[in-house]
Structures are given as C-alpha cells and as structure tokens.
Amino acid sequence: MKNPPETMFESAFAEDTYKGLTSYPKYLLSKYIYDEKGDKLFQKIMEMPEYYLTACEFDILRINASAIAESFSSDKGFDLIELGAGDGKKTKVLLQELVEKGFKFDYLPVDISQHVLDQLELSLKEEIPQVNVKVQQGTYFKTLEKLAEYDSRKKVILVLGSNIGNLLHEKAVEFLANIAKAMGKDDMLFMGFDQKKNPQTILDAYNDPAGITEEFNKNLLVRINNELEGEFDTDKFIHWETYNPETGTARSFLVSKTRQTVNIKKLGLEVNFDAWESIHTEISQKYDDSIVNWLADEAGLMVERSFSDKENCFKNYIFRRK
C-alpha cells in the first residue's frame, strides 16, 4: 500500500475514504452514500414494502396527529425545527394538523441539500400555503450550533425516520447532548426510533430482493469511482446484512467476491482485498424503551411520552431537558 499523498486530502470524503480503506477491518462511512443518486435510492427504499419504518412512522403521525400537535402548542407560538427534513412527506401530516388547529408557528426545515429544501418549500406552498416556512441549508452539526439562537419562544425539534440509528451509541449520546444543550426548559425534542422486532423482518428491510438496498450500499463505491478516480468493479462485491438481536444492531457490509486490487488514483492508493474480505458500511440500530431511556439520561434528557404503532414496530418519543 502506498503512503498517504503528501498534499492535504482534497476533501473530507477523500480523507475518510483513505482512512477507512487502509484500516483493518476496512470500513466506509454511511453518510457518504447520500449524493444525488444516493438520495434518490433512499427515496426508493422508503417506498419499498420491506422497509416498514416509513409506513409505521407515517401511521403513528397520522393516528396521533391531534395529540402530537397539542403537545407542541404554546401560548406565544413556537418554532418547529426539523433536522434532515427530506421531502417532508411525514411532517406534512403534522403541519396540516397544526394549521387546522390554528396554532401559531414557523416551520424551519433543515437539510444538507438545497435542492431538497427548494422542492419542499414549493410543495408546501401548493399543499399547505398557510405554513410559514423558513428553510435552513446546512449539516446537522452546524445547525445544532445555531439552534440555541432560537430562544424567543418555545422550540420543538423534530428528527424523524430513525436517523439516529446510523450512529453508534456513543455518537448518538453526543448528538442528543448537543440538542439538549440548545434546549430551554419548555423546549421539546420529538424523535423517531426504530424498535427491536422479529430479526427476519429487520433483515428483509435491509436486503430487498429487487436489489435497491444493494445499489444504495454500493453507491459508496460508485462515488469513490466518480469523485476520487477509483476503479471499483461493483459486480465484484456483494451486499451483506447482519442483525444481532442481542445488541439490536443491523450492520451492512460489502464483501469482495475475489482476491483483487483496486486502484484509487486521486488517493494514490492501491487497496488489496482478500477473497471474502469485508468493508463495513453502515449500522442501523434498533431500540427498546430501556435503551432510549438510557441514551436520554446520558444526554441530559428525559422521555416525557411516546407514541407507537399497533405492533410496536416504531416509536416516536417526546424528550425534555432534565
């Protein structure tokens, strides 16, 4: 394997890729799946029948819309800040309810993609024009720093879709603690957590027969090819999913079918793979009440209430600062 390039890496993606592919065991960071193609593939995943998370959370929001909206309300009105808003499909159920109840609020969707935010703003203008929308482009991290500035009235912070599940517990606590730091005593965090369930249901959600999740996972290699002049042949890797019911952790891998060497020109790197060697690409953590309570406690939060679907597939929790 060659030495790292003498010059600085051209991007965080380049540096993280270098680190991950020169580590043992090899890994890549799942956040890099999401370029334009990765975003589209994730949209497709959310529509797959096997990916129960979206439908379950949608049902929770639809069935409990009135109670959830009531819990957000405040005499002086509130700021509804959504981290990782995406297409806002699920959020619109709540926005509609808040509008119908005549509550005073501003909706501040945050997303890394300006394109996604433009689409969301446009669709809201058409579908629920009464909503006052102020889009915020940026990473979660940058936005968390800015969150505390919204302190003139109650803040309701919304994180849907079990995005927290892509973080190891230590990082999840850090993420929650950063949100807690920005929260006043009246503020609320409303967040989705996918629940432990029949292991087969979980494996099926991350291993669809149509191969959409495989393409999503392999998009990491495609991005390396496109942006770092990599020479991965994606057919020489298989998508592999595992789920450990003890820890509640689903893990995605790409496994090399043969012994091979892959050149990544912009990194000055030749990566050697043994036959059946793996690259770990993503974790999708599943939770139960005791893990969520523990995470909250570690982060300076407490669970006030939770909403669940009939089969306890998914839960949305309301947290307050301790």
SS3 of 239, please? strand
Is the distance from CB of 213 to CB of 38 less than 8 angstroms?
no
Q: How far apart are CA 221 and CA 230, in angstroms?
A: 8
Give me the DSSP letters along 255-316. Answer: EESS-EEEEEGGGTEEEEE-TT-EEEEEEEE-B-HHHHHHHHHHTTEEEEEEEE-TT-SEEE
| 195 is an interface residue for ligand AVI by CB under 6 A | no
Given 38, 88, 165, 230, the residue binding ligand AVI (CB under 6 A): 165
What burial class does residue 168 get, using C-beta atoms within 10 Å of its C-beta: 0-12 exposed, 13-18 middle, 19+ buried?
exposed
Q: How far apart are CA 62 and CA 260, in angstroms?
A: 50
Given 284, 299, 316, 320, the residue binding ligand AVI (CB under 6 A): 284
Binding segment toward ligand AVI, per CB under 6 A, in 125-133, 163-171, 262-270, 271-279? 163-171
Which of 139/260 has CB closer to ligand AVI?
139
How many residues bind ligand AVI, per CB under 6 A? 12
Beta carbon of residue 106, minimum distance to ligand AVI (angstroms, whole number)? 26
| 281 is an interface residue for ligand AVI by CB under 6 A | no
Which of 269/295 has CB closer to ligand AVI?
295
Residue with tokens 């909403």: 307
| 113 is an interface residue for ligand AVI by CB under 6 A | no
Binding segment toward ligand AVI, per CB under 6 A, in 73-81, 90-98, 162-170, 307-315? 162-170
Residues that bind ligand AVI (CB under 6 A): 45, 53, 161-163, 165-166, 206, 213, 216, 282, 284
